[in-house]
Amino acid sequence: MSVHRAQPPTLVSAFTTHDWKFWGTFVALCLLSFISALDVAVITTALPTVTKDIGGETQYVWIANSFVLASAVPQPLFGQLANIFGRRVPLLVSTGLFALGSGIAGGANGPGMLISGRSIQGVGAGGIYVLLDIICCDLVPLRERGKYLGLMFSWAGLGAALGPVIGGALAQADWRWIFYMNIPICGVALGAVLLFFRVTYTRSPTWKHAFGRIDWVGNVIFCPSLVAVLYGLVSGGTLYPWSSWRVIVPLVLGVIGWVSFHLYQASPWCARPSVPTRLFGNRTSAAGYLLTFVSSVIVQATSYFLPVYFQGVLGAGPLRAGNYFLPYAIGTLVSAVVAGVLLSKIGAYRPLHAVAFTLSCIGFGLFTLLKSSTPKVAWVFYELIASAGAGIVQSVLLPAIMAALPESDVASASATYSFLRTFAYVWGVTLAAIIFNAQFNADLHLISSPELRLTLADGAAYAYASNQFIDGLERSLKSEVIGVYVRSLKCVWWMGLAFSLLGLIGVAAERGLELRKDLDTEYGLQGDAKDQSKEEIKGGEARV
C-alpha cells in the first residue's frame, strides 16, 4: 500500500510536484481520451459517404451504433478485471483491441466487416473509458482529482470538437483514414504506457484463483440483458416502429434481465459482485450517479440536435454546422478544466454542481428562443452558457461519487460511472429523437405540400435536415418546413430544461462531504527498480 501526501491545492503546485513517470502516464491517458472521443464524433459527418461507398445503406444503423453497443456492455467487467489483474494489462489489452478494430474497419470490403471492426473498436473503447477514470483516481488524491479529470476530459472535448470537421475532410479524401489514423496514435499511447506506467497491486497466486474472482454469473446475466435493451433503443423508430414486437420484446426481456442482475448482486450467492449495491447505499453517491446520467443525456441531446438547428433552420452545410458547434465544444472543455481547478481549491462539489445545472437550465431556456432570424451573436452566447453547465459538471462528478466511498471501491465505482455515461448517451439521442419526431408529425399539417409531408414524416425529418434538401424547396414551402423544424426543436430544448431541473433536485439530495487530501491506494505507481524489488520480496506472491 502506498500513501501520498497531497500538496496545498494551488494551481502551480498541481503541475510541478509530479515526476516524469506520472506525466508520461498522464499524457498517455490524454491521448487515449482524445482518440476514443474523436472516433465517436468523426463518423457522424462521414457516415453517408462510408455507407454509400461500401454498400451498407441498409445497415447504416448498425454501422453507426455497433460501436456504442459494444463499448457499453463490457464496462462493469473491465472494472473488475482492473482489480484482479491490475490497471496496466487491461489498459494494454483495451488499447490493442481499439487499434485492431480500427485496422479491420479501415480495411473493410463490406458492411459486415465494417460492423465487426467497429464492434471490436467499441469493446476496446469501453475498457479505455473505464480505465482512464480508474487510473486517474489512482494517481492523485480525491481533492486533486477534479483538475486532472478536467484536463483529461478537455482532450476528449477536443476530439469531439474536431471529429465532425476531420470526418468531413477525410470523407472527401479517403474515408478509410478515419480508422487508420487511430493506429499510430494508439501506438504512441501504448509506448507511453509500456515505458512509464507500472503499478503495484496484489497479484493472485494462480491463474485459476484470478479467474475465480470474476463475477461470471453476474456478467452472463448483465451482458445479454444490456444488449437486448440497447438493441431495442437503437432499432426503435429507425428499423422498426416503437409498437413493433421486435422492439418491445427485447426491451422487456432486457429490463427483466437487468433487474435480475441487480438482485443477484445483492444476494448472498454473489461473493464478488461487479456492481456492488453499496455503491448506491448512501445518498451522495446515489445522487452523483443520477447526476451522471442526467448530465450525459443533456450533452448527447444537445450534440445531436444543435446541428439539426444549424442545418435545418439556418441552412448551414455539414462542415459549417460543425464549425457553428465549436463554441459549445470548446466552452465545455474550458469549463471542465476551470471547474476541476476550483474543486481542488475550495474542496466543495455541491456549489459547482448547483452552478452547472443552473447554467444548463438557463442555456436550454435560451435555446427555446432559437428561430431562423436569431442573430449569430445570440446563439453563440446561448451555446457558451449551456456549454459551461455541461463542462463544469463533467470533471467534478466522479470525486463527489467517491467522497462517500472507500478507495478500495475506485474500480467498481468508476466502471459504474463510465457505464452510466455511455448508457445515457443512447438515451439522450433516443428520447430527444422520439420527442422531435412526434412533434414534427403533429405539425406536418402546417406544410401545404402532401408529397413533402409524406417525405418528412415518421423520423425522416432528421435525415433531411440539410441545406441541400431545404434550399431546393420553393420559398413558401421552405418557410413552412423551417417553421416546423423550429417548433419540433423547441420541444427538444424543453426536454433538456426538464432534465436540467431534475439535476438541480439531485444536487439537493447530495451531502457536502470532505474530499480526502491523502491518496491511500494499493495501485500506486511503482518506484525505481530497487523499490520495486523490495516490494516484490515483501509481497512474496507469484505473478499472474
Dump pLDDT digits (tens) for 88-126.
899 999 999 999 999 999 998 888 899 999 999 999 999
Per-residue pLDDT at 228 exceeds 90: yes
Percent of the chain topping pLDDT 90? 42
pLDDT in tens, 398-426: 999 999 898 888 889 999 999 999 899 88
- CA pair distance 258, 240, nearest whole angstrom: 23
Query: What is the DSSP annotation of 439-479?
Result: HHHHTGGGS--HHHHHHHTTTHHHHT-SHHHHTTS-HHHHH
pLDDT-derived band at 524 (thresholds 50, 70, 90) equals low
DSSP type of residue 237? T
| Burial (0-12, 13-18, 19+ Cβ within 10 Å), 360 | buried
Least confident of 308-322, 376-390, 470-484: 308-322
pLDDT-derived band at 289 (thresholds 50, 70, 90) equals very high
pLDDT in tens, 453-471: 998 888 778 777 766 678 7
**Average pLDDT score over residue span 42-57:** 72
Per-residue pLDDT, 2:
45
Per-residue pLDDT at 259 exceeds 50: yes
- CA pair distance 22, 34, nearest whole angstrom: 18
CATH class of 276-528: mainly alpha
- For residues 166 and 2, the model is more confident at 166
Question: By the 8 A CB rule, do 74 and 126 touch?
Answer: yes
- CA pair distance 79, 380, nearest whole angstrom: 39
- CA pair distance 247, 233, nearest whole angstrom: 8
Q: Could you give the angle at the alpha carbon of 166 between the alpha carbons of 427 and 25, nearest 5°?
A: 80
pLDDT-derived band at 525 (thresholds 50, 70, 90) equals low
Per-residue pLDDT, 12:
41
Per-residue pLDDT at 544 exceeds 50: no
Grid coordinates 462531504 are at which residue?
513
Per-residue pLDDT at 21 exceeds 70: yes
- CA pair distance 402, 137, nearest whole angstrom: 9
Contacts of 470 (CB under 8 A, 6+ apart): 312, 315, 464, 478, 481, 482
Contacts of 460 (CB under 8 A, 6+ apart): none
- CA pair distance 248, 244, nearest whole angstrom: 6
Per-residue pLDDT at 284 exceeds 90: yes
Per-residue pLDDT at 519 exceeds 80: no
Residue 134: name the closest of 535, 407, 400, 353 by CA. 407
Buried b / exposed e over 117-154, threshold 16 CB at 10 Å, is bbbbbbbbbbbbbbbbbbbbbbbbbbbbbbbbbbbbbb
Per-residue pLDDT, 466:
65
Per-residue pLDDT, 509:
93
- CA pair distance 82, 437, nearest whole angstrom: 42
Percent of the chain topping pLDDT 70? 90
Per-residue pLDDT at 14 exceeds 70: no
Choices 3.50.30.10, 1.20.1250.20, 1.10.357.140, 3.40.640.10: CATH for 17-197+206-214? 1.20.1250.20
pLDDT in tens, 160-171: 777 777 877 777
Question: By the 8 A CB rule, do 25 and 192 touch?
Answer: yes
What are the angstrom distances between the C-alpha of 130 and each of 137, 439, 479, 486?
11, 37, 47, 38
Residue 540 falls in which region: left (phi positive, over 0), alpha (psi -120 to 50) or beta:
left
Per-residue pLDDT, 1:
44
pLDDT-derived band at 5 (thresholds 50, 70, 90) equals very low
Per-residue pLDDT, 90:
92
Residue 400: name the closest of 367, 357, 360 by CA. 357
Query: 3-class DSSP state for residue 521?
Result: strand
**Average pLDDT score over residue span 194-208:** 80
Per-residue pLDDT, 45:
65
pLDDT in tens, 346-394: 989 999 999 999 999 999 999 999 999 999 999 999 999 999 999 999 8
Mean pLDDT rounded to a whole number for the chain: 85
Question: By the 8 A CB rule, do 376 and 111 touch?
Answer: no
How many whole angstroms from its chain centre is CA 430? 15
Residue 495: name the closest of 318, 304, 235, 240 by CA. 304
Query: In 347-375, which residue ranges form alpha helices assigned H by DSSP?
Result: 350-367
- CA pair distance 388, 341, nearest whole angstrom: 14
- CA pair distance 451, 516, nearest whole angstrom: 63
Per-residue pLDDT at 540 exceeds 70: no
Per-residue pLDDT, 528:
41
pLDDT in tens, 430-451: 899 889 989 999 999 999 988 8
Cell digits for 104? 479491420
**Average pLDDT score over residue span 171-175:** 79
Per-residue pLDDT at 7 exceeds 50: no
Per-residue pLDDT at 257 exceeds 50: yes
Per-residue pLDDT, 8:
43
